[in-house]
Amino acid sequence: MRAQRSPGFTLLELMIAVAILAVLAALAAPSLSDFFDRHRVRAAADDVSSLISHARAESVKHDLPITIAMNGSGTAWCVGANEATPPTGGAPAGESAACDCTQDTQCMVAGIRQVVSSGEYRGVAIGALPSDFRFDNTLGAIVTTGGLLGSRQVTLTSPSGKYDVVVEVETLGQARSCTPSSRPAMSGMPQC
């Protein structure tokens, strides 16, 4: 009479499967780390670009000037939008002032706080910051806030330093993101 075999894995089969899984995980770890690196810098750039685009649209929608201010350096930075005081009693709207995006009570547009902060993107660093700029409430174009209209672009760098994304704002107020040609390309993002 033959002994009946019970279904299941032997200990040897289980150990081989675990060893194969460990080798595959070790091979996938570097590319997974690279994926998160790209994702963090891209998400930060997308949020900065979205904040700028939203501020421009709100400026035209509410017929109020809105100022974009950037603050900080390295991995401690923030970008905020601040709306001018609405007109009252037939008086014209006031000018929008730059806000301090590190303060919880500042950077308000339509009663909602509009800030993108580095705390949401651990390790993402910001390059040289442009001076504050303001959106015209009629066309959504950029107007000077005193002095010449300088550079309106900011570079965000991934935690490993391998990837950069540049967020630039054109004179007509449109924000776009791109990767510098000197850095590795990122899928779905144009090169500058």
Mean pLDDT computed over every residue of the chain: 86
Report residue 30 as tokens: 């570097």
**184 found inside a domain:** no
**166 found inside a domain:** yes
Per-residue confidence band for 138, with pLDDT thresholds at 50, 70 and 90: confident
Residue partners of 94: CB distance under 8 A and separation at least 6: 84, 85, 87
**25 found inside a domain:** no
Q: What is the pLDDT of residues 22-75, one digit of tens each?
A: 888 777 667 778 888 899 999 999 999 999 999 999 999 988 999 999 999 899
The tally of domains found in the chain comes to 1
Residue with the larger pLDDT of the pair 111 and 151:
111
pTM: 0.80
**185 found inside a domain:** no
Rounded CA separation 39/33 (Å): 10
**61 found inside a domain:** yes
The CATH number covering residue 157 comes to 3.55.40.10
Residue with the larger pLDDT of the pair 180 and 24:
180
Q: What is the pLDDT of residues 81-109, one digit of tens each?
A: 999 888 777 777 777 888 888 888 888 99
Which pairing describes strands 76-83 and 115-117: parallel, antiparallel, or unpaired? antiparallel
Q: Whole domain around residue 80: which residue ranges?
A: 35-85+96-178
**10 found inside a domain:** no
